[in-house]
C-alpha cells in the first residue's frame, strides 16, 4: 500500500514522495534514489527540523557523577537543574551528554532527548507512526514543551522544544 499525502515519506535525497519504495531494489519509487542504508523510508516533516540530539544516562548521585565526567572528559556543565545536568565541550554545544537522576514529571527516565523546532509536528508524526506515547505532550515549568515515545526496541525518547 502506498503512503497517502498526509503520510509523506522521504528518501535519502530528502525529497518527499508518495510513490512508495521498490521492495526488490530498495529504491524510491519517486526519484530512484536509495531510501536509506537499510532500504526504509522515514517519516519527514518539511516544516520541522532537529535542533540537537543527546543521550541521557541515568545516575544515582548527580553531583559526584558530574565531577567525574568533567575530570575525565574535560567537558563543562552547561545546564544543571539538580535532577538533570548537561555536559558539553567548552565553546561547542554540538556534542552534549545529559545525566539524569529521576525525571520529575515523566513516568520513566528517557534514554535520549531530541530537540526539534516544532514539537507538535513531531508529536503528530509519532502518533501517525503508531509509536507508544509514554508521556503526553506537556508544557513543563522549566520552559520546554515535550512528550516521550517508546520505540520498538523499548527505548524511551524525550522529544522537546523550548517555549
pLDDT in tens, 131-146: 999 999 999 998 999 9
For residues 66 and 44, give the distance between their C-alpha atoms in angstroms, rounded to a whole number. Answer: 36
DSSP state of 130: T
Residue 31 has pLDDT above 60, yes or no: no
Residue 13 has pLDDT above 90, yes or no: no
Q: What is the pLDDT of residue 9?
A: 43
Q: What is the pLDDT of residue 94?
A: 82
Kind plus residue range of the DSSP H or E element containing 124: helix 119-128
For the entire predicted model, the pTM comes to 0.70
The residue behind cell 503528530 is 124
The residue behind cell 556543565 is 77
Q: What is the pLDDT of residue 83?
A: 96
Which of 4, 29, 49, 98 minimizes the C-alpha distance to 13?
Answer: 29
Amino acid at each position: 500500500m502506498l503512503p497517502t499525502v498526509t503520510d509523506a515519506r522521504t528518501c535519502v535525497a530528502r525529497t518527499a514522495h508518495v510513490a512508495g519504495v521498490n521492495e526488490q531494489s530498495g529504491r524510491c519509487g519517486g526519484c530512484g534514489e536509495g531510501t536509506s542504508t537499510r532500504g526504509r523510508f522515514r517519516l519527514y516533516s518539511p516544516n520541522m527540523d532537529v535542533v540537537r540530539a543527546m543521550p541521557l544516562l541515568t545516575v544515582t548521585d548527580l553531583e559526584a557523577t558530574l565531577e567525574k565526567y568533567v575530570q575525565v572528559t574535560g567537558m563543562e556543565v552547561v545546564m544543571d537543574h539538580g535532577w538533570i545536568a548537561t555536559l558539553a565541550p567548552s565553546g561547542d554545544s554540538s556534542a552534549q551528554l545529559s545525566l539524569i537522576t529521576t525525571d520529575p514529571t515523566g513516568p520513566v527516565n528517557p534514554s535520549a532527548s531530541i530537540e526539534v523546532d516544532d514539537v507538535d509536528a513531531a508529536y503528530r508524526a509519532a502518533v501517525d507512526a503508531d509509536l507508544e506515547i509514554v508521556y503526553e505532550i506537556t508544557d513543563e515549568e522549566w520552559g520546554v514543551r515535550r512528550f516521550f515515545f517508546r520505540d520498538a526496541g523499548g527505548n524511551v525518547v524525550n522529544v522537546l522544544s523550548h517555549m
